[in-house]
Structure 1
């Protein structure tokens, strides 16, 4: 995580940082993003947040949310995050990638890629496309803990943002 934080060029941090939290509170398996957005909203931060439990960024509004973020904050660093299902048991793992997230890709949906960096929070695993046990046995405690760790990571990045 420290490598990721140190890899962000300081010029990115002179603009507002946008955190795009994708998901919905309707399913535990998909609430990682909006849970992070809500926890960030409750903390002392300098982020522009898209996606909370009360105002989620979902398939219904993702393209509008992306367009709005790019229009309102054109030079900002955009960090996107979403829940993910792995093919191997790595529930609770967070992975950080440089480059945009492709929302809905795992489900065969094509939405606009978004983000300079993206985080995937692995909320469960499924060995095959037909194995959907993860829908009913994803634990809220695991998702909540991952959200807390993500907020802590973003707070470490917050400490690098210049005070204006």
Structure 2
């Protein structure tokens, strides 16, 4: 596994994983926090192909029977409601933040995982609070000069594939 710092100004160290390596990340979280509620905070909107990753993951987790999920296609958790959705999560819960991001060409299709909070909307220049005890940033496309346009033009197939991988790894690790 390759160490890769995406947000060095925030001091967030992340590890770049393939979809097949995600299960070990989630297994570590479940093992470390046995008996505690793990809430999945799935950030994004259903109004942008690239940014729909979070709500897609949340919906897929609910379909797999997981109940501690914030952010689905029906009720997205986005920049407009993030603070109030965070306030509704019990403070004793362990939060895994999941969001799409833009990155280097060689990182598209990979996941940047961390045992630290996620800084949502940074790739599009927004300033939102850091969220989560753990984070998964899915690199859905290449970072460029027009991030909103890039997210709009991101492959729905790629986003769906990545959402499936995250949901499968997170739900499979629950019982282990």
Aligned pair partner of 1:17 in 38, 53, 65: 38
User: How far apart, in 2, do the equivalents of 1:136 and 1:112 lie?
Assistant: 23
Residue of 108, 113, 132 corresponding to 1:115: 132
Kindly provide the CA deviation profile for residues 35-93 of structure 1, in whole angstroms up to 9, marking residues without a partner as x: 00011111133x41100001000111001111111xxx222211000000113243221
Q: How many residues align?
A: 155
TM-score, length basis structure 2: 0.79
Gaps of 5+ in 2: 1-21
RMSD: 2.0
Q: Deviations over 1:14-51 (max 9, x none)?
A: 12110000000001010000000011111133x41100
**Which residue number in structure 2 is paired with residue 145 of structure 1?**
161
Quick one: distance in 1 between partners of 2:147 and 2:171? Answer: 36
Higher strand share: 2
- In structure 1, list runs of 5 or more residues that go unmatched: none
Q: Distance in 1 between matches of 2:108 and 2:166?
A: 15
Cα pair 2:123 2:147 within 8 Å, conserved: no
- Taking a change above 3 Å as real, the CA distance of residues 51 and 9 of structure 1, as seen in their structure-2 partners, is closer
Question: Does structure 2 retain, via aligned residues, the 8 Å contact 1:37–1:52?
Answer: yes
Q: Which residue number corresponds to residue 58 of structure 1?
A: 78
